[in-house]
Amino acid sequence: MNVLSGKVAIVTGASSGIGRATAILFARQGARVVVAARRQHELDILVSEIAATGGEAVALAGDVRDEDHARALVEQAVNRFGGLDVAFNNAGAAGTMAPVTDLSLADWQDVIATNLTSAFLGARHQIPAMAARGGGSLIFTSSFVGYTAGLPAMAAYAAAKAGLVGLTQVLAAELGPKGIRANAVLPGGTDTPANPVNAPGATPEVRTFVEGLHALKRIATPEEIAQTVLHLASDASSFMTGTALLVDGGASINRT
Ligand code: NAD
């Protein structure tokens, strides 16, 4: 059974990693998907890939720090596909990694804008479209970093990701009466270009260290995180709202 049949979804950060895997899974589960990221070429490839398997998607390149882009994504969903049911506000980046004393205000603000203000802007424009449908599901990509782990040199990222949990809780309370749910997914280390294991020049020791942080002694595939996002998007999670859902391979509880 296709659990997102008849649904329309927006996925940001869809050119790569978790967003890309989720867009593919959403389409495979019957959703029509507006895919967004900054790189048009990567999005065009994704749209063709989805079409080749019988799915339907449309691409819109832009920057999640830009409110006009947030508005345009919802317009695409409504104009092309007739409405909006699911929004996976997932785009994010760790930005400059440095101790707080060495972190510039500009670097701090950029990370907050990319990871947190982007979610506020997305939700602002997505909510009226979902309300017009009588409900919907807002999903945000937070992280175990800033929730159960304080990793050095990640202050802005941790603050932004923790902020997403607060935003999620307030949205859930505000929107519950409208039938709109809001949840955050908190991945552990995931094998995408954003993870330190894939940074240019990363040694095998870096991978061993990062994998060792997790009870499962490995990091996730993007597809594993996408499965949880699908759960939050679908009616299978119809009584879940305001949740910070860890999908972290035990990184939060691991002490070995
Ligand atoms: P990724 O680098 O593969 O994908 C990030 C996506 O976000 C890309 O599509 C990129 O283009 C997009 N993006 C970044 N800045 C943007 C901007 N300003 N405007 C528009 N798009 C922008 O990384 P990923 O691991 O798939 O990251 C997805 C989310 O998961 C992020 O929010 C990240 O913080 C979070 N996360 C990742 C991990 C991990 O270990 N990979 C762990 C926890 C949380």
Q: Residue 133's pLDDT is what?
A: 97
In tens, the pLDDT along 13-38 reads 999 999 999 999 999 999 999 999 99
Instruction: Report the CATH number at residue 30.
Output: 3.40.50.720
Average pLDDT, the chain: 98
Q: Per-residue pLDDT averaged across 108-123, rounded?
A: 98
Known catalytic membership, residue 147: no
Please tell me whether residue 31 adopts helix, strand or coil conformation.
Answer: coil
pLDDT band with cut points at 50, 70 and 90 for residue 160: very high
State the residue range of the domain holding 70.
8-191+221-245
Residue nearest to atom 21 of ligand 1 (CA): 37
Ligand 1 center–CA 177 separation, angstroms: 31
Q: Residue 62's pLDDT is what?
A: 98
Please tell me the distance from the alpha carbon of residue 253 to that of residue 121, in angstroms, as a whole number: 33
Given a cut of 90, whether residue 196 has pLDDT beyond it is: yes
Kindly state whether residue 253 falls inside one of the protein's structural domains. no
Reported pTM: 0.99
Q: Per-residue pLDDT averaged across 37-42, rounded?
A: 97
Kindly state whether residue 227 falls inside one of the protein's structural domains. yes
Kindly state whether residue 254 falls inside one of the protein's structural domains. no
Please tell me the distance from the alpha carbon of residue 76 to that of residue 87, in angstroms, as a whole number: 13
Given a cut of 90, whether residue 231 has pLDDT beyond it is: yes
Kindly state whether residue 75 falls inside one of the protein's structural domains. yes
Kindly state whether residue 73 falls inside one of the protein's structural domains. yes
Q: Residue 144's pLDDT is what?
A: 98
Share of the chain above pLDDT 90, in %: 99
Given a cut of 80, whether residue 65 has pLDDT beyond it is: yes
Q: Residue 256's pLDDT is what?
A: 86
Given a cut of 90, whether residue 1 has pLDDT beyond it is: no
Is the beta carbon of 195 within 6 A of some atom in ligand 1?
yes
How many structural domains does the chain have?
1
Q: Per-residue pLDDT averaged across 107-124, rounded?
A: 98
Laid out side by side, the sheet with 32-37 consists of 56-61, 32-37, 8-12, 86-89, 136-141, 180-187, 244-247
Q: Per-residue pLDDT averaged across 123-148, rounded?
A: 98
> Which ligand 1 atom lies nearest to the CA of residue 12?
21
Instruction: Kindly state the tokens that stand for 124.
Output: 């602002």
Residue nearest to atom 2 of ligand 1 (CA): 194
Please tell me the distance from the alpha carbon of residue 43 to that of residue 101, in angstroms, as a whole number: 38
Q: Per-residue pLDDT averaged across 99-113, rounded?
A: 98
Beta strands in the chain (DSSP E): 8-12, 32-37, 56-61, 86-89, 136-141, 180-187, 244-247
Q: Residue 45's pLDDT is what?
A: 98
